[in-house]
Homo-oligomer: A and B are copies of this chain.
Amino acid sequence: MPGFSRFTSLVDALPATVPFVGPEAIERGRGLAVKARIGANESSFGPAPSVLAAIREKAGDIWQYNDPENFALKAALAAHHGLSPANIAVGEGVDDLLGLIVRLVIEPGMPVVTSFGGYPTFNFHVSGFGGRLVTVPYTGDREDMDGLLAAAKRENAPLVYFANPDNPMGSWWDAESVVAFARALPETTLLVLDEAYSECGPAGSTPVSDALIDLPNVIRTRTFSKAYGLAGARVGYAFGTPETIVAFDKIRNHFGMPRLSTEAALAALADQAYLKEVVGKIGAARERIAAIAVANGLQPLPSATNFVAIDCGRDGTYARSIVDGLMQHGVFIRMPGVAPLNRCIRVSTGQPEALDLFEEALPKVLASL
């Protein structure tokens, strides 16, 4: 039986797709159990105990819609960053905000510049609004800012995506270079500066909060899904000039934020000591993942994120067989989607027990190939 006959031509041309296959779907599809969940750059260190306490304490309020203005969370974020609440938009994860940003700027056929192999969910949204992806290869496993800038100018692109630190490679640029890149872009090009992993990077890898706050064509995005350990809560935020940020109010799902997620984010933000502790654990886990890679003759790449990309020295087919082989041992990891990045596998930091399983399984998988 056919579906409804009159979806838009854009919708008719889109595939029904999931940008990422979840570990639960892999378990169902392959009849395997995930024992080490280190594939989605979640934080198995979890959120702070104070966050869990807040969720449990506030659970009884769940019959109430959340404040559609997100007043308390915007105020807390503003205080945290030394900005004004008017600089901040809150959304149901960065994925939601990315979709809104694309919608604000892109009409069918318009060019959107990103890196070849960059964040698939951004590309999903671009396709979903009919944008035309213009991709720039990574250079030296880093996003190529000069190439992105040239492409943006050449195409007169209204939108450019740049992640720092980067996913899926874990690489980064120093804050000064990022600021120079943003300031070099034409004012008619909106830069989405995705800083989902900024809490995990070394000093000097993320511009200070107000470094670009004067630029109407820059929106920076952050999330509680990574270092804060709240991937399942869906809380992201964006900051920029008030006049740019107010555009979200024109199209966002005003009652979209879950009440307990908001409470969780407020508690997480208030517990910076815990965040610091987790960032230390992430650093230690990165070192351990790198050591495991080296012990198995593989090459870990430097990382400013909560994961490590490991160069397996061959092609995407080989790396895929490692990913699939590890899953046979219950170790869920992922890998970049395109060459030459897909010579790598990507392993998220996590609790020592998860890394134990990875350490145990990796040599067996490599020996079996």
The interface of chain A, by Cβ under 8 A from chain B, is 1-8, 11, 14-22, 24-25, 28, 37, 40, 42-47, 51-52, 55-56, 59-69, 71, 92-93, 95-96, 99, 103-107, 121, 128, 158, 187-190, 214, 216-217, 225, 229-234, 241, 243-244, 246-247, 249-251, 253-261, 264
Contacts and interface: CB of A to CB of B under 8 A. Distances in A.
Contact of A258 (B40, B52, B234): B234
Contacts of A216: 1-5
Contact of A63 (B44, B121, B249): B44
A187 B2 CA distance: 12
B25 A92 contact: no
A128 B42 CA distance: 33
A4 B61 contact: no
A16 B99 contact: no
B231 A65 contact: yes
A98 to B, nearest CB: 9
Given A7-B105, A25-B67, A234-B255, 8 more contacts: A4-B243, A8-B103, A18-B68, A20-B255, A55-B62, A62-B264, A92-B256, A258-B260
A232 B259 contact: yes
B233 A24 contact: no
A6 B258 contact: no
A235 to B, nearest CB: 9
Given A17-B250, A128-B250, A261-B258, A69 B22 contact: yes
Contacts of A247: 3-4, 7, 11, 16
A1 to B, nearest CB: 6
A250 B11 contact: yes
